[in-house]
Structure 1
Amino acid sequence: MRTQLRRFGKIVGGENAQEGEFPWLVTLGQHDLTQSSPTKYEVSVESITTHPEYVCRKVKNDLAILKLDSDLQWSEFARPACLPASSGANGYTNFANVLATVAGWGWTNEDSQKGSRANVLQKAKVNILETEKCREWYKSQGKKGKIQETQMCAGYETGGVDSCWADSGGPLMVASGAGDQLMVVGVVSTGIGCARPFLPGLYTRVSEYIPWIQSVIKG
Structure 2
Amino acid sequence: MLCFSECLEYQEKLVYPCEKSFSLSLNDAMERKVKCHNNADDLIIGGQNASRNEFPHMALLGYGEEPDVQWLCGGTLISENFILTAGHCISSRDVNLTYVYLGALARSEVTDPSKQYRIKKIHKHPEFAPPVRYNDIALVELERKVPLDEWLKPACLHMGDETADDRVWATGWGLTEYKASSGANILQKVVLNKFSTFECILQYPPHRLMSQGFDVNSQMCYGDRSQSKDTCQGDSGGPLQIKHKKINCMWLIIGVTSFGKACGFIGEPGIYTKVSHYIPWIESVVWP
AA aligned to 1:187 is V
Q: More displaced, 172-181 or 19-28? A: 172-181
Alpha-carbon shift at residue 42 of structure 1 (Å): 1.1
| TM-score normalized by the length of structure 2 | 0.64
Could you tell me which residue of structure 1 aligns to residue 52 of structure 2? 19
Matched, 1:208 2:277: yes
Count of aligned residue pairs for this structure pair = 199
Which has the higher relative contact order, 1 or 2, with Cα contacts under 8 A spaced 6 or more apart? 1
Could you tell me which residue of structure 2 aligns to residue 3 of structure 1? none
Secondary structure of 1:134's counterpart equals helix
Q: How do 1:55-134 residues align onto structure 2 when only pairs under 5 Å count?
A: 55-86=129-160, 92-93=161-162, 98-112=166-180, 116-134=182-200
AA aligned to 2:151 is F
Alpha-carbon shift at residue 38 of structure 1 (Å): 6.8
Structure 1 Cα separation of the partners of residues 241 and 108 of structure 2: 25
Q: How do 1:142-153 residues align onto structure 2 when only pairs under 5 Å count?
A: 146-149=213-216, 150-153=218-221
Structure 2 Cα separation of the partners of residues 159 and 121 of structure 1: 20
Contact 1:195 1:201 in 2 (8 A): no
Structure 2 Cα separation of the partners of residues 39 and 29 of structure 1: 12
Contact 1:106 1:166 in 2 (8 A): yes
Contact 1:13 1:124 in 2 (8 A): yes
Q: Sequence identity, in percent?
A: 33
Q: Which stretches in structure 2 are left out of the alignment for 5+ residues?
A: 1-42, 60-100
Secondary structure of 1:212's counterpart equals helix
Structure 2 Cα separation of the partners of residues 61 and 38 of structure 1: 33
**RMSD between aligned alpha carbons?**
2.3
* Residue number among 94, 99, 105 corresponding to 1:31 in the alignment: 105
AA aligned to 1:133 is E
Deviations 1:162-187 (A, max 9, x none): 01001000000012213443201000
The structure with the greater share of residues assigned to helix is 2
The structure with the greater share of residues assigned to strand is 2
Q: More displaced, 194-203 or 60-69? A: 194-203
Contact 2:49 2:186 in 1 (8 A): yes
Q: More displaced, 175-184 or 54-63? A: 175-184
Structure 2 Cα separation of the partners of residues 38 and 63 of structure 1: 28
Could you tell me which residue of structure 2 aligns to residue 171 of structure 1? 239
Secondary structure of 2:285's counterpart equals helix
Contact 2:119 2:141 in 1 (8 A): yes
| TM-score normalized by the length of structure 1 | 0.83
Secondary structure of 2:156's counterpart equals coil
